[in-house]
Every structure is written in structure tokens, then in C-alpha cells.
């Protein structure tokens, strides 16, 4: 289940299809999609060129010895046979980070930026007085807050910017998920809205109880039991 909170309370609770139809959510997806396209660089294929301007021929890999390869394969198969089958991961609760840094809505950008730096986090949900997520502050969206990027000729404007409320720079509204939300649906929202992660909330109170990020998904792909993305 997905939930959406605004400054005035709960705006939506329901399935992914209904979330996609909400104009505030579609507006955030359009905005972040435009920003991503504007800042993206085209990927170029790397081709090794020879002395005559032609693509150089790649040296074939040396043939491996058949006997060591067969022995290694047999050893790997035997090792797998002795391991218990790992259960597939299907729900948010199996991947989420239970500890969540919440930024109070009343913080200034300077204070919020400092908390992100101290905790080495790339993003954090912005919470209202009931600890419900009403936005997401993403450090990558705020390069102007770094002193290295500050325009010294406009130092006064830069300091004034730092004193603005965190709500002036957060991505809002931000979809939230429950611990029982399928991982497949979370991955779809992260891709469609170009978000780094989503807050996890209690179904009844809406209070933030965790966070699930792209890093959690990548870590699971590389180190955890297999993800069931097609259930």
C-alpha cells in the first residue's frame, strides 16, 4: 500500500495504480524527469582504434584449461548442494532500514544540510509534528548549499538562502510505503519518479518507521537472497 501526506494531512492511501493518477505525484515525476534529462550526459561507446584509424582487433582471451575449470564447477555445485535454500525477498520490511533520520519541518536549510553531512546520508524525509513524511530533502538537489559552489560576490544572498525553511527545497509530496508493500512496486515508483528512496510508514498512524532506498535494493541484489520482482 502507498500513502501520500501533505501539510494538511493524509491525501491518499491505496494501490500503486491510484497513486500514479494523482496530479501532485505526476507533477513531481515530471519535474524530476525534466531535471534528470537536463543534467544527463550521453553515454558514448568506447572503441579501441588502431594506427590506421580502424577499430583495433581485440586479442582473444587465452584458452582456459579444461580440467581445472571442470574441477572448479564441480566444487561450486557441491557447495551449493550443502547450503539451505534461501527464501526470496518480496516485501519492503525485508529490505528497509529501520532507523530513519527525520528532518523536522521547522529546520532551516543550513541545519538540515548539516544533519545530512553529519550522518553521511544522501537524503532524508521531512516530517511534520506527527512524524509523518511530507517531503524528501535530497542532497544532490542542493549543490548551491556547498561552500565550494558559493558565489562570493553574492555572499549575502547565499547566507539568506541558507536560512530559508527546509520546505522551500524539499521534493513534495512524497509517496510513502508500508512494510508489506511489494518490492516490485517500490522499484517502479523509484524509477518513474527518479527518487533515491521512499519513507516507510505505519499503516495506521502514518508515522515514519523506516526508509527503503535504491542502495537497499542494490545491496540485496548483490548480497542477499534473490529478489522476487515478478510476484
Q: pLDDT, tens digit, for every residue of 60-83?
A: 555 555 556 666 666 566 555 555
Region of poorest pLDDT, from 27-36, 93-102, 126-135? 27-36
Given pLDDT bands bounded at 50, 70 and 90, which one contains residue 153? Answer: low
Regarding predicted confidence, which is higher, 54 or 197? 197
pLDDT at 41 over 80: no
pLDDT at 69: 66
Strands 123-127 and 103-104: parallel
Given pLDDT bands bounded at 50, 70 and 90, which one contains residue 88? Answer: confident
93 in Cβ contact with 180 (< 8 Å): yes
Total-model pTM: 0.71
SS (H, E, C) the chain: CEEEEECCEEEEEECHHHHHCCHHHHHHHHHHHHHHHHHCCCCCCCCCECCCCCECCCCCCCCCCHHHHHHHHHHHHHHHHCCCCCCCECEHHHCCECCCCCEECCCEHHHHHHHHHHHCCCEEEEECCCCCEEEEEEHHHCHHHCHHHCCHHHHHHHHHHHCCEHHHCCECCCEEECCCCEHHHHHHHHHHHCCCEEEEECCCCCCEEEEEEHHHHHHHHHHCCCECCCC
Place of cell 494531512: 9
Mean pLDDT taken over the chain: 79
Regarding predicted confidence, which is higher, 16 or 38? 16
pLDDT at 132 over 50: yes
How far is Cα 19 from Cα 219, in angstroms, rounded to an integer? 27
Given pLDDT bands bounded at 50, 70 and 90, which one contains residue 231? Answer: very low
pLDDT at 60: 54
Domains of the chain (ranges plus CATH)?
A: 2-25+86-223 (3.10.580.10)
pLDDT at 147 over 60: no
Contacts of 200 (CB under 8 A, 6+ apart): 92, 93, 96, 100, 176, 177, 178, 179, 208, 209, 210, 211, 212
Amino acid at each position: 500500500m502507498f500513502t501520500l501526506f501533505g501539510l494538511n494531512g493524509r491525501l491518499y492511501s491505496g494501490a500503486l495504480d491510484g497513486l500514479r493518477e494523482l496530479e501532485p505525484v505526476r507533477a513531481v515525476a515530471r519535474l524530476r524527469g525534466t531535471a534528470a534529462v537536463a543534467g544527463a550526459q550521453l553515454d558514448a561507446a568506447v572503441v579501441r582504434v588502431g594506427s590506421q584509424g580502424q577499430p583495433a582487433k581485440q586479442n582473444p582471451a587465452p584458452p582456459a584449461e579444461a580440467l581445472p575449470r571442470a574441477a572448479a564447477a564441480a566444487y561450486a555445485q557441491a557447495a551449493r548442494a550443502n547450503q539451505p535454500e534461501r527464501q526470496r525477498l518480496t516485501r519492503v520490511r525485508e529490505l528497509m532500514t529501520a532507523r530513519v533520520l527525520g528532518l523536522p519541518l521547522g529546520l532551516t536549510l543550513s541545519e538540515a544540510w548539516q544533519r545530512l553531512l553529519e550522518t553521511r546520508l544522501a537524503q532524508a524525509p521531512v516530517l511534520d509534528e506527527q512524524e509523518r513524511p511530507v517531503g524528501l530533502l535530497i542532497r544532490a538537489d542542493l549543490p548551491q548549499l556547498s561552500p565550494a559552489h558559493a558565489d562570493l560576490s553574492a555572499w549575502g544572498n547565499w547566507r539568506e538562502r541558507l536560512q530559508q525553511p527546509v520546505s522551500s527545497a524539499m521534493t513534495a509530496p512524497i509517496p510513502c510505503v508500508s512494510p508489506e508493500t511489494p518490492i516490485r512496486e517500490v522499484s517502479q515508483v523509484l524509477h518513474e519518479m527518479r527518487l533515491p528512496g521512499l519513507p516507510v510508514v505505519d499503516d495506521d498512524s502514518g508515522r515514519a518507521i523506516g526508509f527503503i532506498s535504491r542502495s537497499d535494493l542494490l545491496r540485496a541484489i548483490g548480497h542477499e537472497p534473490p529478489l522476487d520482482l515478478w510476484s
